[in-house]
Amino acid sequence: MYDAAGKYGRDIGMDLYNGKKLYSILNGLRLGNIRLDYLNVDTVNSDRQIFAEMIRSWRHFSAQTIGRELGLSGEAKGRLEGGYDAHLRTIQHPFGYSKWTVVAASGEKR
């Protein structure tokens, strides 16, 4: 589901995979002292309800906003929503584990 969301994002001009590219982007801007920090949001060290709310907002954005922009069929929207719903069930289950990594990048002008 996240692969499909990434493809749909690309189709409307958004790069949902930019975290993987940040080091190259900052180097391309000729920044020095580049630093990448990885922030993990997970069901052990984060509030499950807040984590779930984050995923719900992505579910809505992917299925509704991107879906409308690209004219996705009801079936395609349903597949996206189903994938997000599965992720939400894992987050909300007391023994479920899920993690989302956020890349925080910085650099200095030379």
Q: Do residues 80 and 59 touch, judged by C-beta distance below 8 A?
A: yes
Q: What total of structural domains would you count in the chain? A: 1
pLDDT digits 0-9 by tens, 10-34: 888 878 788 889 999 999 999 999 9
Which amino acid is residue 86, in one-letter code?
A
- What average pLDDT does this structure show over 63-73? 85
44 touches 97 (CB < 8 A): yes
pTM of the entire predicted model? 0.77
Of 88, 66, 87, give the one whose Cα is nearest residue 76.
66
Range of the domain at 53: 2-108
Share of the chain above pLDDT 70, in %: 98
Q: What are phi and psi of 21, to 5 degrees?
A: -105, -5
Determine the pLDDT at residue 88: 98
